[in-house]
Amino acid sequence: MDISIGELARLTGLPVKTVRYWSDIGLAPEAERSPSGYRRYDEAGLARIELVRTLRDLGLDIATIRRVLERRAGLAEVASAHADAIDLHIRRLTLRRSLLRAIARRGARPDEVQRMTAFARTSADEAGRIMEEFIASVFAEHPDDPFAARMRGALPELPTEPSDAQVDAWVELAGLVGDPDFRARVRQMVDEGARARSERDISDTDEATRRAGAAVVERAGAALSAGIAPDAPEATPIVDELVGLFATAAHKPDDAGYRAELVWYLETFSDARVERYWQLIGIINGWPQRPSLTPVYRWFTEALRARR
């Protein structure tokens, strides 16, 4: 294909002076010059001009576009890069559409609109960086903490066409991980968890502790459904049973000292915002929805505190 600069401008819908400028700075050089000195382009040049236009439409500056082009020379590579750029553009437009619908549905306040719009301009890499920065921040003093790996293994991945619920979940999650109070609370839990594992032999990962946790969900959940108040006499055998399971898991006697320690443990590691964090991750990633455990643990904590 032998294309003049005028024909190239017509095919791409760009002004001739724009094509000439991009050629002059090396973004899309002509394939050759005619004997009269006119610029001539080939298929690769056409593809490069289209790619440069797409990248400019996406907001990339000239220096960044130059770095992209320096890694791709042939027609096939440029076409592939062009397709990738269009895919990114489609993803951003799809996400922006979802956010606009969320704004219309929620009647969002100006500050919420600003946060949501900022996210619409955020790439997947940037979203990952935000989450990684949050995790690095809360585990700064305990980089080898096993829960850090667990959180990194469950990062949010918004689908190409997110549902309204997923968009709402990401907006809420973005606000949550950026909240200094929430970060401080998670950092406290990390610090106390490390201390508990080293000093108190308390862990939520061994099988005995898992069984105790499952019993709380079952027994305290049944008590809640039955309308049994935490300080009611009927709650006493339930509390005794549950404390016994936790004491066995911790290899400690069920006495006043251990009950005080267990209250500390429950109050330290039960936080509705942390549970909400995992619920939001689940919504974004499309995981099966799980019921909240906050009510049952709150009941158990209040029932235990009433008998200390």
Contact yes or no for 183/169 (Cβ under 8 A): no
Tokens found for residue 90: 């489609």
Per the DSSP assignment, residues forming a β-bridge with 40 are: 4, 32
Q: What angle do CA 279, 154, 85 make, to 5 degrees?
A: 105
The pLDDT value recorded for residue 69 is: 76
Q: In which residue ranges of the chain is pLDDT below 70? A: 1, 59, 71-79, 82, 99, 102-103, 105-109, 111-127, 160, 200-205
Closest C-alpha to 306, from 254, 218, 199, 232: 232
pLDDT for 173 equals 87
Terminal Cα-to-Cα distance of the chain (whole angstroms): 87
How large a percentage of the chain has pLDDT more than 90?
A: 35
pLDDT of residue 212: 94
**Cα-flanking dihedrals φ and ψ of residue 40, to 5°?**
-130, 140
In sequence order, the β-bridge partners of residue 4 are 40
Helix (H) or strand (E) holding 40: strand 39-41
Residues 170/158, Cβ–Cβ less than 8 Å = yes
pLDDT at 107: 65
What pLDDT was estimated at residue 237? 96
From CA 292, how far away is CA 298, in angstroms rounded? 11
- Domain-wise residue ranges, the chain: 3-71, 201-305
In this prediction, residue 280 carries a pLDDT of: 94
- 3-71: CATH number: 1.10.1660.10
Q: How far apart are CA 235 and CA 213, in angstroms?
A: 17
SS3 of residue 39 by DSSP: strand
DSSP tag of 235: G
**CA–CA distance, 211 with 16 (Å, rounded to integer):** 73
